[in-house]
Amino acid sequence: MEYTHVGRLGLVVSRLCLGTMNFGPHTPEDESHRIMDAAIAEGINFFDTANVYGRHLGVGSTERIIGDWFAKGGGRREKVVLATKVYGQMAEWPNESRLSKLAIRRACEGSLRRLQTDYLDIYQMHHIDRNAWWNEIWEAMDQLKSEGKILYVGSSNFAGWHIARGNEIASKWHTVGLATEQSLYNLTERTIELEVIPALQEYGMGLIAWSPLAGGLLAGALKKVDEGRRSSEYLQDEIEKDRDRLERWEKVCADLGERPSDVALAWLLHQPAVTAPIIGPRTEEQLESSFRALDVRLDGDVLKVLDEIFPGPGGPAPEAYAW
């Protein structure tokens, strides 16, 4: 396993982050536990979850599965840099969602109970709350820090100016501010190169990339759809809209002798702002297969071809669209 610092922080995490959204809804608890044991055995020390994960099993179900795994002992909790999220609707009563001080505190206490831990390494805001005053947010987060319940604060799905504003106000509080941003980022979706990535680099933050395989489009979708493994109507439509690019993409991967999913992850690992892409295995086999991406090396010529197939916005703003 390879490791890196989170932005300019001293915190060190694995280059792959284990996403747990499938734990419960798609992966039974016993197999979820085996996946987490296998991840630790392979050196993954970075786990991502959220208080709302669980879907039809009920919000909080995924955190409970992770908490039961921690409760087995054997240093499991101590080996993990644990990131969870706050914002989503946990119940129908007022203040059971979003980012008021009351909601943040209640949500944190709930996550700690379900996860069976005394503290969270990274507490991420799952979305911007346009109705929450930044001073209120930082007061809540700093109180949780002072109580030893969270160590770092992160954001997710924030715009560049949200990150800048949050960090500038944090500096007035003489606090670290945002440590990480979790954003949609892959070869097909590169919008964050305009404003979000420049903001992260300016403030020394880490970038956690979600949906690195674009919902399966970058995982050999053309071959799999022919085999009947990509049967959802939505994905079928996406494949047809993007067939020309996907054909070129899968040929490049075939010429490299690598699976498309591994090349897609490797591309992210070659981006200097990226701390770790999130992998979300449903099975232990899927977890093990993800490690190949760490060994895939893409030279300048290959990266240039991938930019031609999946062009970004043209660099950071404003140069991407102005002189």
The full length of the chain comes to 323
| 210 occurs within a structural domain | yes
Q: What range defines the domain where residue 26 resides?
A: 3-219+259-301
- Residue 225 within any structural domain of the chain: no
Residue 313 lies in a domain: no
- The H or E element that residue 17 is part of is strand 17-19
The DSSP annotation for 214-240 comes to GGGTTTTHHHHHHTTS---HHHHHHHH
| 235 belongs to a structural domain | no
Counted domains in the chain: 1
Which of 53, 123, 185, 203 does the annotation list as catalytic? Answer: 53
State the Rg of the chain over Cα: 20
- Rounded to whole angstroms, the Cα distance separating 189 from 167 reads 25
Q: Has 152 been annotated as catalytic?
A: no
**Does residue 224 form part of some domain?**
no
Kindly state whether residue 55 falls inside one of the protein's structural domains: yes
Residue 322 lies in a domain: no
Q: Output the domain CATH number for residue 111.
A: 3.20.20.100
Helix/strand/coil for 269 = helix
Whether residue 211 is contained in a domain is answered as yes
pTM over 0.85: yes
Tens digit of pLDDT per residue, the chain (323 long)? 999 999 999 999 999 999 999 999 999 999 999 999 999 999 999 999 999 999 899 999 999 999 999 999 999 999 999 999 999 999 999 999 999 999 999 999 999 999 999 999 999 999 999 999 999 999 999 999 999 999 999 999 999 999 999 999 999 999 999 999 999 999 999 999 999 999 999 999 999 999 999 999 999 999 876 555 455 677 788 888 899 999 999 999 999 999 999 999 999 999 999 999 999 999 999 999 999 999 999 999 999 999 999 999 999 999 999 99
Pinpoint the alpha helices (H) of 120-218: 134-146, 160-172, 196-203
